[in-house]
């Protein structure tokens, strides 16, 4: 009987965790290797704009006047107990990422045109026929 009680206590203690366990150094964002790097918007005149995206092994960053790291936002949400989820679709030519922070969901869909050019195919404004980004 003593062994059963000690075993139950051990399993109970292993199942407990502190709040800080929600903030993990393990990434939940993991873009494919082909898209990793900095991509700036093609301005249509042979140059690039100052806005775009950066993909790292464990982050998706919106680049502009101020960079916005989804990894940082996810970790902030998790540290206060708020919901954060990431759903990714990855192939050799497609990267789709859907990130939910609390109740707001952001969706980004990219298609590889070449090793140095991608297309953002789900412009939320609905007014861009094509939005290309050039790898830096």
Instruction: Judge contact between 90 and 61, C-beta under 8 A.
Output: no
128/12: higher pLDDT: 128
Q: Which residues contact 48 (CB under 8 A, 6 or more apart)?
A: 40, 41, 42, 134, 136
Neighbours of 11 (CB within 10 A): 9
pTM: 0.76
Span 74-101, mean pLDDT? 93
Whole-Å CA distances, 39 to 13, 20, 30, 122, 125: 46, 33, 16, 16, 20
Helix (H, G, I), strand (E, B) or coil at 2: helix
4-13, 55-64, 86-95, range with the lowest pLDDT:
4-13
In this predicted model, what pLDDT tens digit does every residue of 23-53 receive, in sequence order? Answer: 223 348 999 999 999 999 998 888 888 999 9
Q: Which residues contact 46 (CB under 8 A, 6 or more apart)?
A: none
Helix (H, G, I), strand (E, B) or coil at 86: strand
Q: Domains along the chain?
A: 28-135 (2.40.128)
74/18: higher pLDDT: 74
């Amino acid at each position: 009987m003593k062994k059963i009680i000690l075993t139950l206590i051990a399993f109970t203690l292993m199942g407990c965790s502190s709040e800080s366990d929600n903030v993990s150094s393990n990434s939940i964002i993991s873009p494919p290797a082909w898209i990793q790097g900095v991509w700036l918007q093609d301005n249509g005149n042979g140059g690039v704009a100052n806005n775009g995206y950066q993909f790292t092994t464990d982050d998706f960053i919106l680049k502009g006047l101020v960079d916005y790291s989804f990894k940082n936002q996810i970790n902030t949400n998790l540290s206060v107990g708020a919901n954060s989820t990431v759903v990714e679709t990855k192939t050799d030519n497609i990267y789709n990422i859907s990130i939910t922070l609390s109740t707001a969901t952001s969706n980004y869909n990219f298609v590889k045109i070449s090793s140095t050019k991608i297309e953002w195919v789900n412009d939320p404004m609905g007014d861009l026929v094509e939005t290309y980004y050039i790898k830096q």
